[in-house]
Amino acid sequence: MLQSMELLDVADSDFLSSDDQLDDEESECSESEIERYFVIPTAKNRLFGRKKPLHVVLGAGLAADIMLWRDKNVSASILAGLSIIWFIFEGLGYNLIAFFCHSALLLLATLFLWASFGPAANLPPLEFTDIFLPERLLADAAVALRFDIIQGFRTLGDIALGQDLKQFLFVTVTLWGFSAVGARVTFLTSLYTVSVILLIVPMVYEKYEDIIDVITEKVLIELNNQYAAVKKMVLRELHAAIIASEQSRLYVN
């Protein structure tokens, strides 16, 4: 099974050494899931510093199975369905409200004809079961999101107060990028694009994660070097401006 620990990177060894600390759900990962989590020696760090297999990072549930194409039929069906929906509303220009109204009318007409003429056509009678929603469904969902919401506001506060310049620049560029994209495409197209990315990128990354991790590490190192150079230049210019302002004030006095 495990032939040589020399092929493990730091993230892998941390993951395998902390098996006793994983909860019951994560500890049920298949043996093949752990076996395939080896990389070439040049990959020193996993993307975003992860220490677990990608399937576990994504939750090891149904959503992870769909994004990683564990069941190709289900994933392909979802992708095809999203593509059809996008084509109906964007390609054909079908209105969303009209679509729901026409769908509801078609469903009601079908059920009415079935109930009225079903017995004559020897069709089975329609039976509707009661729909039950838990009383605390929304409350439980709000509690589950509470921590993430608090962390989000705390992060925004840190960015607004200037405590992390790198994060401020990242958020600024990201928001500008979203605004530029949103000005040129519709919300439905943006939602469809994000959905396709979530269905394609994780699967491609899992297949070629060894190469992608190496390339990403080199890119991040270069970006950090460029950020350090820009920061040093800005601080130097700011320091020069402060000195010039002090000299000017002393000259005037």
pLDDT > 60? residue 172:
yes
Residues 9 and 15 sit within 8 Å (Cβ to Cβ): no
**pLDDT band at residue 2 under the 50/70/90 scheme:** very low
Q: What is the pTM of this model?
A: 0.54
Q: Rounded to whole angstroms, how far apart are CA atoms 42 and 5?
A: 14
Asked if 186 and 193 count as a contact pair (C-beta separation under 8 A), the reply is no
Which tokens in the block code for residue 178?
Answer: 């979203």
Render pLDDT for 111-162 as a digit per residue (tens, 0 to 9).
Answer: 888 888 877 777 787 777 777 777 777 777 778 788 878 887 887 777 777 6
Domain ranges of the chain: 1-60+208-253, 95-128
Q: How many angstroms separate the CA atoms of 108 and 12, rounded? A: 56
CA distance 96 to 89: 7
